[in-house]
Structure 1
């Protein structure tokens, strides 16, 4: 791993247009030959990349976030949906540590299968300013392969962290993975969704940069006057509470995207191959108890990520697609900027729906070089007031829906700030609805059929509205 992080050996070649490095496989195999590595087959492929970037967080804070599985998920919530420490092998001290961990990675779309890893995570201090974190797969991977159409093996991967001044770090990230597609999945979107960057080093760096910016906003807030609702959110305690709830909302949304199998419901014959629907009984105190139905789909749009993102972010056009708006205008009551890129923020929105006067919408959105998301959930006014008055945020029920937007794999999104970029994109949307309260132990087949039809119709109609408004119905 230490050799891979060097820039003067012929294993990787720096790109002439970015801070990325491409692997030279012949040189790698010659220097790091390993007779015990997993065997290759016609369905095997390798995904390897190296990228560096400056992250607005010091090295000690980064290490603390990487060691704790909860903090690890919070640091990269759009990539890691589950994580836990299986066993601490060497607690060490600030000079190094080693532990066996598990993580589930999933991004982009329910059409892309999640990846599960059991791996050894090792930290070592190289000098006064430099640390390395190395992840390598462990044999427990065999315990989670049953039923999966593919599995991935992580060769030495991870990062080197160099402490810079003013609370910043230079992070060089390596991803080196062997993927075996045991049962190739045929879907028109997969070639567009899966490219070198989907699970690559650049996604880790870009996500770290964005989330560290978000973290710095949370810890750097200052107390302002409470007369203006927008200034209320700058009170450190209130701001932290709102940001915690919003982070949980984003994590919940990313978790529900693991829906690779089209489920067998009475109306499933009407589904398109990209549609997914599931029903689950929820007992989690942070969501409403009962049966929750989730519907998701992905579609291609001949527009750039930035253009699609701007459309979804526009409060003036929200009534054209959002059923929560009731075809009426919405008003933004408050905003928390979570980064320096326009559009990266948390907002509280008030729709004008006479029969739902106490309903607000909590929303978090972000865009970066590799795509964007907009995730939201209804939240009632009494809950918001409770948060403002110091209520327990862990008991706030949140049921998110939203969108993931990613480039279609044919172009890089180097001009993601440019509003007139013309790259195509994949839009993934997912809706969740509570269909039956917890008092009922089960739901009948008739109730299932009715609920599935209703939510799937909502999904389909929203797709048609978005395409029509964007002028790409064909």
Structure 2
């Protein structure tokens, strides 16, 4: 028999069928009753109605309902398994039953249905475990009987280490998943937890170091995402003792996020320029007196909220936010060649590549129920950036929780777990932040985004301080604007024909998709190296103040997406007294390219192909041909993507080989086209200013970041010369001066 209060305080994370506080209370009361069948019901006083001085009746009285009563209540149960008092009274009057009898019947029916479901799930788990054990036995036999392909003799252990290690890790992961789900099911059906034998007695334990790939930066884009172990190794996965605390914190964060997303004035007040909403800290402290505790000394609050309608299905949007690469799925013994066949980049990092420089899921506490992310809970670490080496990145260790609510709304919330690491000093922590997603007709969704952080931003350079303080650098408006732009881009990628806006040498939908895929990889590579990520060690070359040139080097080896050799990256950020839109239009226009681009060498630049991927005319992918006076460069092509939204713009480009591009235009695989992207990030220098009633960003000027990647030596083993560094320094300085001079003229 079920016992009262058998559920943990966080039981409603695991069973998402309970929607409201009243229903959750009913479910706790469900466990006080048990029915032998769907037709028998025991009449007794509930815990709320029983007189404490009255001795309980030793004899239990049962009441058998008529077939008509059962049919009517069964029919009502299908529509509403949790009737309220009014509905119970009406149903009892119609069926000649007491409301308390109706209440007991529905409680027992819910308990019975839940028990049947969990028993069925346990049966499936047992069958799955049997299959895994059989498969494990087959693998062990295959490993024991394996022969060397060269000599025909028994295979050495070293030769089989990859398969064996992969088998051990996979079996350990599956066993833990089965144990976890069985434990959850046992709590609901009152059965002992299934105990499965350890299918891999020597399998590795689940620790953070197990899945971190120790690759150096010379390994190309893989290295950019995974070489910086300082972020990952500095964060350990949660302990078993931490997990109940994490679940409780996630539930509280979800409740806070929903209220913050739905409540208006006085919690949220318009900003000075009326372009966004800012948080009233006094009202927040009054409304959420407990929360995550007081603000830490030395940290300042940043909170903003933004809403928009985006071209994306609500389920797809939830999957995008929850798809973050899982560190444990990348075995440390994989070679670089094997790594190239694995999708290492999550949808979340890809879509928000300008904001998220790195992200990892460290532990999955719940995968959700009903085949979706409803109830999914995962512990993560991430690094957030502004596209400039002058703005320090913000690192967070947090839990992400996804839940579907009554009205079809989905919510995804993040909250920092710094309280689980008391010895660490956090420069940034996330109070409940995330978004509410509401389904709209025709595949659209309404998104309300809340960003609420506490941060030490004293290391931000002075020219970026206004941008950071107004929330355009890390706030909700930038997240929503980026999402809107990327949804438009994804819609363009999914097009099965060639829209009328596309012109040039692209003649097939396959060629169009291949070119867009190549451009996406170019953008990801650029964004991963332009900011002040801790994955890179920047060195100041020359100058002073904001005009410093920051450089880093890496070796590219065995990466089909990059030319082999030593790659030198250089970036600088500076202020220019020109509005962002004018800077963007100047840099993306092929007719003005010769004024700043050394690759064009003063020649004419023609657009051979144009793919529109947004409602803004500046959002497009182009293939440019340089008709250079220098005959050696006559076959050079430039792939370029330009994009703009209300918070910033990018112009990113890379020289490409004409033969490789012919393969792409024919619909071939673009992953093997070598790219070294360079480009520009254009941000406003402050909040919106209203000029004559028309809002404009960065009315007084723009913050421009220029970044180059150059192959300085085709031999990966060569040493970087001071001459190469000086050449790149001169190149970036010369480009900056040309841009300033060209934009200074009316």
Give yes or no for TM over 0.5.
yes
Residue number in structure 1 paired with 2:550 = 276
Change (3 A) 1:264 1:413: same
Deviation at residue 191 of structure 1 after TM alignment: 2.0
Residue number in structure 2 paired with 1:189 = 463
Residue number in structure 2 paired with 1:406 = 683
Residue number in structure 1 paired with 2:266 = 10
Deviation at residue 282 of structure 1 after TM alignment: 2.4
Deviation at residue 300 of structure 1 after TM alignment: 1.1
- Partner residue of 2:665 out of 388, 394, 406: 388
**1:304 is the counterpart of 2:544:** no
Residue number in structure 1 paired with 2:443 = 167
Contact (CA 8 Å) 2:595, 2:742: kept in 1 or not?
yes
Deviation at residue 307 of structure 1 after TM alignment: 0.7
Deviation at residue 237 of structure 1 after TM alignment: 2.0
Hey, what's the Cα distance between the residues in 2 that align with 1:461 and 1:370?
A: 27
**1:66 is the counterpart of 2:345:** no
Could you give the per-residue CA deviations for residues 281-337 of structure 1, whole angstroms, max 9, x where no partner exists?
A: 223432122211111111111111011111112222110100111111100000110
Equivalent residue runs for 1:161-240 within 5 Å: 161-181=437-457, 184-185=458-459, 187-195=461-469, 196-222=471-497, 230=503, 233=506, 235-240=508-513
Contact (CA 8 Å) 2:684, 2:702: kept in 1 or not?
yes
Query: Which range is displaced more, 352-361 or 166-175?
Result: 352-361
Q: TM-score, normalised by structure 1?
A: 0.89
Number of matched pairs: 459
Equivalent residue runs for 1:402-441 within 5 Å: 402-409=679-686, 411-412=688-689, 422-437=699-714, 439-441=715-717
Equivalent residue runs for 1:136-151 within 5 Å: 136-139=415-418, 151=427
Hey, what's the Cα distance between the residues in 2 that align with 1:262 and 1:468?
A: 31
**1:451 is the counterpart of 2:724:** yes
Q: Per the alignment, in what secondary structure is the counterpart of residue 263 of structure 2?
A: coil
Residue number in structure 2 paired with 1:86 = 362
Change (3 A) 1:414 1:255: farther
Hey, what's the Cα distance between the residues in 2 that align with 1:293 and 1:204?
A: 30
Hey, what's the Cα distance between the residues in 1 that align with 2:436 and 2:272?
A: 22
Could you give the per-residue CA deviations for residues 229-257 of structure 1, whole angstroms, max 9, x where no partner exists?
A: 93653633222211111111111111112
Could you give the per-residue CA deviations for residues 104-150 of structure 1, whole angstroms, max 9, x where no partner exists?
A: 2112311011112222111110135311110111239969978xxx7
Hey, what's the Cα distance between the residues in 2 that align with 1:68 and 1:47?
A: 26
Hey, what's the Cα distance between the residues in 1 that align with 2:592 and 2:485?
A: 27
Hey, what's the Cα distance between the residues in 1 that align with 2:288 and 2:592?
A: 55
Hey, what's the Cα distance between the residues in 1 that align with 2:423 and 2:456?
A: 14
Change (3 A) 1:16 1:143: closer
Contact (CA 8 Å) 1:130, 1:161: kept in 2 or not?
yes
Deviation at residue 98 of structure 1 after TM alignment: 1.1
Deviation at residue 47 of structure 1 after TM alignment: 0.7
* Structure 2 residues not aligned, in runs of 5+: 1-256, 325-345
Change (3 A) 1:440 1:406: closer
Residue number in structure 1 paired with 2:601 = 326
> Which structure ranks higher in relative contact order (CA pairs < 8 Å, sequence separation ≥ 6)?
1
**1:155 is the counterpart of 2:431:** yes
Change (3 A) 1:420 1:409: closer
Change (3 A) 1:390 1:75: same
Change (3 A) 1:269 1:54: closer
Cα RMSD, aligned residues only: 3.0
Q: Per the alignment, in what secondary structure is the counterpart of residue 441 of structure 2?
A: coil
Hey, what's the Cα distance between the residues in 2 that align with 1:53 and 1:390?
A: 35
**1:33 is the counterpart of 2:309:** no
Q: Per the alignment, in what secondary structure is the counterpart of residue 342 of structure 1?
A: coil
Change (3 A) 1:60 1:29: same
Deviation at residue 168 of structure 1 after TM alignment: 0.7
Q: Per the alignment, in what secondary structure is the counterpart of residue 3 of structure 1?
A: helix
Deviation at residue 87 of structure 1 after TM alignment: 1.4
Change (3 A) 1:364 1:46: same
Hey, what's the Cα distance between the residues in 2 that align with 1:167 and 1:186?
A: 40
Residue number in structure 1 paired with 2:226 = none
Runs of 4+, deviation exceeding 6 Å: 143-146, 417-421
Change (3 A) 1:123 1:343: same
Change (3 A) 1:414 1:12: farther
Residue number in structure 2 paired with 1:467 = 740
